[in-house]
Amino acid sequence: MSRHARTDSAHISPSAHYTGYVWYRHQLADPAFATTFGRWVHGLLAPITWGARVGFGLDIENFLLQRHLLIDARLTAAIEQGGVRQVVEIACGLSPRGQRFCQRYPELRYLEADLPAMAARKRLLLHSEGWLNGLHQVQSVNILAEQGAQSLTALFAGLDHNEPVLVITEGLVNYFERPVIEGFWTRLAQQLNQFPQGTYLTELYPDLREHPRYRQLRWGVGLVGRLTRGNYPLHYRNAEEIVAAFSNCGFRATQVLDPSEHGAALGLPPMSLPSLVRVIEARV
């Protein structure tokens, strides 16, 4: 792997502290998931997020809740209606989803995975609270590794290949340029094809030029890039481009879900503007 690729993969972990604190603030996470660093970053960005909300109607935390709760809803449906009993959450960061769903569904096998440093931190957090067991585990992975102990092949090796599997990535895709993330999707589809049913849930921020706050969105994207010391590319213009990309990567059926159409069911307040985020449900 090139030095550039290694550097890119390191950009993601700091944002995990911020989102972890957001989940805690909105009563989606136990206090154990709220870190001092996450609280500090949230306070640091508070004037900017307030200005975006008051001045332009762009509520950054609401966007995060839209994607998080819609992914939760699709995961719930997959478990209760689709018979899914094993879940892999890649780039898990400080997401509380594994702990919440393992408590709700004690028979669920939940494998969380992230870069080694973050995986070690998450493992320690879950272990210290008594949440880790034989069904809920944490493993290291690097989505850019094509082989070796941190590859997708190693990550999926211990799962039951006779049972359906569902994979989640949240807050990951838009940190990478399109060729890199599509390479990951292609390798992921190859892994999912080894199961009787494979589903992938993720989120994307498309390049919605028709959105009434597009100029402010581009400014926000630039800000995220500076804060994470990298780019934050918007890969696709619309749902058709997203579906085509997933098809080219080996997924046979892809749904592009707009949280604006599911807000009431998710318990979100009415949206004054169209959502900027899309949740993707892709199957092999």
DSSP 271: P
What b/e readout covers 71-109, taking b as 16+ CB neighbours within 10 angstroms? Answer: bbbbbeebbeeeebbbbbbbbbbbbbbbbbbbeebeebb
Give the residue, 270 or 92, on which the prediction is more confident.
Answer: 92
Write down the pLDDT at residue 38. 87
pLDDT higher than threshold 70 for residue 219 = no
Report the chain's mean pLDDT, rounded to a whole number: 86
The total domain count for the chain is 1
Give the residue, 216 or 11, on which the prediction is more confident.
Answer: 216
User: Which residue range forms the structural domain that includes residue 215?
Assistant: 3-283
pLDDT higher than threshold 50 for residue 1 = no
**Distance of alpha carbon 46 from alpha carbon 31, whole angstroms:** 20
Give the residue, 193 or 215, on which the prediction is more confident.
Answer: 193
Write down the pLDDT at residue 237. 86
pLDDT higher than threshold 80 for residue 256 = yes
CATH number of the domain at 51, please: 3.40.50.150
8 Å CB contact between 91 and 159 = no
pLDDT higher than threshold 60 for residue 246 = yes
Write down the pLDDT at residue 2. 36
Token readout for 156 is 């999926």
Tell me which residue of 195, 196, 217 sits closest to 207, measured CA to CA: 217
Give the residue, 157 or 14, on which the prediction is more confident.
Answer: 157
Of the pLDDT bands very low, low, confident and very high (cuts 50, 70, 90), residue 4 is very low
Q: What does pTM read for this prediction?
A: 0.89
Write down the pLDDT at residue 160. 97
Of the pLDDT bands very low, low, confident and very high (cuts 50, 70, 90), residue 98 is very high
**Distance of alpha carbon 165 from alpha carbon 105, whole angstroms:** 15
Least confident segment among 1-10, 11-20, 79-88, 195-204:
1-10
Give the percent of the chain with pLDDT over 70. Answer: 82
Least confident segment among 3-12, 53-62, 69-78, 221-230:
3-12
